[in-house]
Amino acid sequence: MSTNSPSAPPLSAPSSLEVSGLAYAYPDGHQALFGVNLSVGRGERVALLGPNGAGKTTLVLHLNGILEAGAGSVTVAGLPVGKKHLAEIRRRVGIVFQDPDDQLFMPTVREDVAFGPAAAGLRGAELEARVTEALERVGMAGFADRPPHHLSFGQRRRVAVATVLAMRPEILVLDEPSSNLDPASRRELADILRSLEVTVLMVTHDLPYALELCPRSVVLSGGVIAADGATQELLCDEELMRAHRLELPFGFDPRSVTVPV
């Protein structure tokens, strides 16, 4: 597989994310990653595909330094992930976890969105402006004073996106963004993600969603990047798909779709 992405920005742009030779074994000895190499340019939207147990979550937890690399390195916009600048790394890498109930832990939406920037030292009017801006970008500005558990699942997912947008991240990492959403919420979230001018790395099993949103995809399988290329090409490569336990939904033909640009 080619490693050149079709939508790669010009070489002068610094890449948002640079992962090289990343290997990791859990304390119980189970090795999850065997030398992952991945580069994501600024403003790109990349889907991270892979079967269950491929190491996707493990990789994601390395991006903001929750797990420490056994070997290799991760760099976010030129800053190496490590103990020294953890706070800055965590501001730059916004992870949206799968279950919004885990992500939204404050009593109201406003406080939750404010949590990240406030932890970074923002106060007063500036903080308020940041919260409003983030909520407006996901269309949830009218819900600032609601407690999270009174929102619908789709709304909670959008607020979860706002909580990391409020930190003005360099890269947005989404773990299964479309899971448990009804089709309308799915589309609304897609519209929001497309409207953001931010680098996106999307971990997903939802292949049509990846095709809709991400011009480029990488396949993580067995702890290594097994493929990297245009999403449509990857999805059309039946042999590759079979080899990595990736399956399209019944009746879906990636060739029949015109990919939005």
Binding site for other proteins (CB under 8 A): 61, 64, 66, 87, 90-91, 93, 95, 97, 99, 101-103, 105-108, 111, 114-116, 118-120, 123-124, 127, 145-150, 163-164, 167
Smallest distance from other proteins to CB 235, Å = 30
What is the phi/psi pair of residue 42, to 5°? Answer: -65, 135
* Structure token pair of residue 111: 């406080």
Name the residue nearer to other proteins (CB basis): 106 or 248.
106
Smallest distance from other proteins to CB 9, Å = 26
Q: How many CA atoms lie within 13 A of 183 on its CB side?
A: 1
Smallest Cα–Cα separation from 17: which of 139, 169, 130, 232?
Answer: 169
Q: For residues 172 and 194, what is the distance between their CA atoms, to the nearest angstrom?
A: 12
Name the residue nearer to other proteins (CB basis): 76 or 246.
76
Smallest distance from other proteins to CB 232, Å = 32
Name the residue nearer to other proteins (CB basis): 128 or 237.
128
Smallest distance from other proteins to CB 116, Å = 4
Q: Are 157 and 187 in contact (CB under 8 A)?
A: no
Judge residue 20's burial from the number of C-beta atoms within 10 Å of its C-beta, 0-12 exposed, 13-18 middle, 19 or more buried.
middle
Name the residue nearer to other proteins (CB basis): 22 or 95.
95
